[in-house]
Amino acid sequence: MRQLVSWVASACVGFVRACVVLVVSMLVPAVWAAAAGLWIWWWGGNPWAGIAPLVWACIGTFALTRPVCWMVRALVAKWTGTVIPAGYRQAPPVTQMATGYWWNGYSYERSRRDALMDQRLRTRWRDPAIWRDLRFTAIAPITAGVICAIPPAGVAAAVLEFSQSALPGRLAGVLGLVVAIASAPYCWRSVEPVAVRFLGASSAMALAERVDELTAQRADTTVAQAAEIRRIERDLHDGAQARLVALGLSLATAEKLMETNPAQAKALMRDARVGAATSLTELRDLVRGISPPVLNERGLVDAVRALAMDSPLEADVSADVQLRLDPPIESAVYFGVAELVTNAAKHAYATRARISIAWDETGIVVDVEDNGRGGATVRAGGGLDGLRRRLAVFDGTLAVTSPAGGPTRVRIVVPCESL
């Protein structure tokens, strides 16, 4: 009985999905069918009567192409979990030049509005993806559309035949109903392979996107390295360097006072010793900020445990493995966890955090969860966006789940091999 109920539910869901796919895939053919109807209606021996319907059909096709492909991608992702990247060309930023004109990547315009409008048109018409979408809207109706038409066609045939009193008609209606019920759970699945095959980005487009991504990552890495070098220089200049200069002056003064005022010379030497110890502490803190010694000596897990002990939060660390990774990856993951814990205490006002480190045979997986107020989002130019870009250098990903009111869960995944 339970299997029968499950089959009926699957058939009903499949029937609805098949109808949705049929409607979406037939939107563009419906435009051409309407244009053909207008041409027949206007035809009166005038050969120019078909121009207006043809123009209308072309405009409708170009207007519907991208929405149809977007709906197909959304349906496939929702029903099967298969994500098909859009692969559309991204427009470059519009900037104002010193002359007052706006540069949109293609031409100069007098106003920002004109520059954006011109850029939008040029980007869309020069994008190879538009021809891919047009190809899909031509192929989908005769592939997935025809297959998904079987269940509703079977139901329609059953309704028509049941309206007849003759026995052959009723038998044909039963046959149509059986075909509709039997095919409903499977027909809608045909949209996934068709969409993956004809909506996926080509190898050339994927390569171009990868080149753009690597170029952006290289720029981000260069900026981050320059900022880190400036921070180190500033810390050395304002901290250890100033103390070492003062230490040298104190020793020079003590040397001069050694014969005339030994007591004051001894006091200066005591101050110099304290300054040397303070400088050594600052240098150690600076080195620890660049690369923590425990990370180099004992690995990621122990470094994160040491970080949790020094954290203002009550942090628990769980790890099912003790592993060593490449030093750049260990450093990126460690400082990523450190930034997440700091954000939880500083911005989310959390009191507890849980850090989980695992290995899934393809890479390192780190989950950081806090009991803060939530609402964290990856905003362009924000801290989480910077962390995401730093992880992307290693093909890593950052997933944030942070509803309002908390809790906030952040997952870091970096594909790598254990040493």
Residues 310-337 pLDDT 10s: 777 787 888 876 777 777 778 788 888 8
- Show me where the domains of the chain are located: 2-87+127-199, 90-120, 207-290, 293-415
What are the pLDDT digits (tens) for 192-216? 888 888 887 666 666 666 666 666 6
The answer to whether 398 and 391 have CB atoms below 8 angstroms apart is: yes
Q: Would you place residue 102 in the very low, low, confident or very high pLDDT band (cuts 50, 70, 90)? A: confident
pLDDT at residue 357, rounded to an integer: 84
More confident of the two residues 186 and 250: 186
pLDDT at residue 171, rounded to an integer: 74
**Of the given ranges (117-131, 150-164, 234-248, 339-353), which has the lowest mean pLDDT?**
234-248
The answer to whether 313 and 350 have CB atoms below 8 angstroms apart is: yes
pLDDT at residue 383, rounded to an integer: 73
Q: Of 140-154, 293-307, 404-418, where does the model show the most confidence?
A: 140-154
Q: Which CATH number fits domain 207-290: 3.30.9, 1.10.10, 1.20.120, 1.20.5?
A: 1.20.5
Q: Would you place residue 292 in the very low, low, confident or very high pLDDT band (cuts 50, 70, 90)? A: low
* pLDDT (average), residues 24-47: 79
Q: Of 25-34, 126-135, 210-219, 324-333, where does the model show the most confidence?
A: 25-34
Mean pLDDT of the chain: 76
Bridge partners for 365 per DSSP? 358, 413
* pLDDT (average), residues 248-275: 71
* pLDDT (average), residues 279-290: 61
Q: Structurally, what CATH architecture does the domain formed by 293-415 represent?
A: 2-Layer Sandwich (3.30)
Identical fold between 207-290 and 293-415: no
Q: Which residue has the tokens 């053919």?
A: 29
Query: What is the pTM for the complete model shown?
Result: 0.52
pLDDT at residue 400, rounded to an integer: 83
